[in-house]
Amino acid sequence: YQEFSRPGQEDNVTEQLSPTSGLVARPGPPSIVEGIEGCIGNTPLFRIKSLSDETGCEILGKAEFLNGAGQSSKDRVALSMIEIAEEEGILTPRSGDTIYEGTSGSTGISLATLARAKGYLAHMYVYATLVSRPIAKTLMHMQPSCLPSDQAIEKSNLLLKLGAIVDRVPPAPIVEKDNFVNRARALAKTHTASSGIPSASAEEQSDLPAADDRMTRGRGFFADQFENEANWRAHYEGTGPELYAQCGGRIDAFVAGAGTGGTISGVARFLKPLLPRLTVVLADPQGSGLFNRVVYGVMFDVKEREGTRRRRQVDTIVEGIGINRVTANFEAGKELIDDAVRVTDAQALAMARWLVEKDGIFIGSSSAVNCIAAVKTARKLGPGHRIVTVLSDSGSRHLSRFWAKAGDVGGAVDTKLEDVMNA
Ligand code: PMP
């Protein structure tokens, strides 16, 4: 996309794209693709009618829940991380190599799905708050992947259905060596073709069930979505160019939350050189430190938080976005973010219900946060502007937490947008 990204060529960009490049929203059904990996990207962009009509702006949602492997925006990232590792010779398809990640859900689901498609073993670490540390340690070896347990249970259940190894680890401060990311990293490092289960002592290994001999094959790769820059590059090469092409180069604002920061950094880095007047807005849930980083240039309490914070102290029901440190993927684009909107859980819940009630759109918690921030941005910019946001995943991934709290949307309801925004 080098040619494509040169500034000053906005007007004829669609013609410049090769019809086989995959960037053009094709009329009619897409052609046959190779495997489930071929169903990633090129997601629809649609006008969210209720929000557009109410604000007088065009509010557009990128339907990332339609990515075909793990059904979220993380499909792009997982595929990018795996393909780059393959190019670098770190992973070889169908060799029995293992992919490790500490994940809150969506990335793990995408990695586990693609691992199956390509013949790898996926091993995910999940936070489990319900068991004590010693018990969790034991469980870890019986039920070998790393995922925070303050996430909806359907996500870790799905990982198990996909045949991933799921390690439930107790929540630990991000700097502690036992935290899920560090644990995944350490395991991947010590993984060799003959090392057995690497983190277990000889004594622990003797107690392990034979079924875990799946883990003894191949090499280990720690995907590292927070620091691995293959993440923002996936959005720079996919989501950004798709949005530009779908909008014919006319976008006034791009609104997104940040979990790893890959989406906002990748899209902003692609779009900003082409559209210097684009406003990039961070949608930040309550409890996250990124809002202050964008608005005031500092992360309040960052030292204290980094040293002491448990993941659950990001006190929100919203999953997948909101963090209290600057990751490599957020760093990659942070100077391109112009504004930030802080969104409460109550607003996110009310917006999720609104979108079902008015539009029949059933989305997850981070998408609801993005939509609140999109409406605020629309009001700030005034009518007539085009605001693009990301609908990262479906509500069905959030039934047991977020949607359990949102409740059922009633039949004869007539909610006012003002009530949603003031929730
Ligand atoms: N929404 C959901 C549901 C997610 O899982 C994530 C990723 N953690 C995001 C949004 C945020 O994306 P990013 O990591 O690119 O900042």
- The pLDDT assigned to 297 comes to 86
Which are the contacts of 198, defined by CB distance < 8 A and separation ≥ 6? 187, 190, 191, 192, 220
- The pLDDT assigned to 306 comes to 42
Q: What sign does the dihedral 122-369-241-52 (CA atoms) show?
A: positive
| The Cα angle at residue 165 between residues 160 and 170, in degrees rounded to 5 | 95
Give 356 Cα–ligand 1 centroid separation in angstroms: 21
Atom of ligand 1 nearest to the CA of 261: 16
- The pLDDT assigned to 31 comes to 87
Residue from 145, 82, 150, 134 nearest 108 by CA: 145
- Cβ–ligand 1 contact at 147 (below 6 Å): no
Atom of ligand 1 nearest to the CA of 231: 15
Nearest CA to ligand 1 atom 9: 320
Atom of ligand 1 nearest to the CA of 107: 5
> Could you list the pLDDT tens digit for every one of the 423 residues in the chain?
333 333 333 444 444 444 444 555 556 777 899 999 999 999 999 999 999 999 999 999 999 999 999 999 999 999 999 999 999 988 999 887 889 888 768 999 999 999 999 999 888 876 654 444 444 444 444 333 444 545 667 887 888 899 888 877 665 544 455 566 666 666 666 654 333 334 444 444 443 333 344 454 578 888 999 999 999 999 999 999 999 999 999 999 999 999 999 999 999 999 999 999 999 999 999 988 899 889 988 775 444 344 443 444 457 889 889 888 888 999 999 999 999 999 999 999 999 999 999 999 999 999 999 999 999 999 999 999 999 999 999 999 999 889 999 999 987 778 999 999 999
The answer to pTM > 0.95 is no
Return the number of other C-beta atoms located less than 10 Å from residue 84's C-beta: 16
Chain centre distance of CA 77? 8
- The pLDDT assigned to 219 comes to 81
Q: Are 328 and 233 in contact (CB under 8 A)?
A: no
- The pLDDT assigned to 169 comes to 65
Nearest CA to ligand 1 atom 5: 320
- The pLDDT assigned to 177 comes to 54
- Best residue among 124, 263, 326 to mutate for probing ligand 1's pocket (most ligand atoms within 8 Å of CB) is 263
Q: Are 146 and 180 in contact (CB under 8 A)?
A: yes
- Spell out a b/e string for 306-327, using b for 16 or more CB atoms within 10 Å of the CB, else e: eeebbbeebebbbbbbbbbbbb
- Best residue among 64, 77, 106, 398 to mutate for probing ligand 1's pocket (most ligand atoms within 8 Å of CB) is 106
- Cβ–ligand 1 contact at 259 (below 6 Å): yes
The one-letter amino acid at 216: T
- Cβ–ligand 1 contact at 261 (below 6 Å): yes
ipTM associated with this complex: 0.97
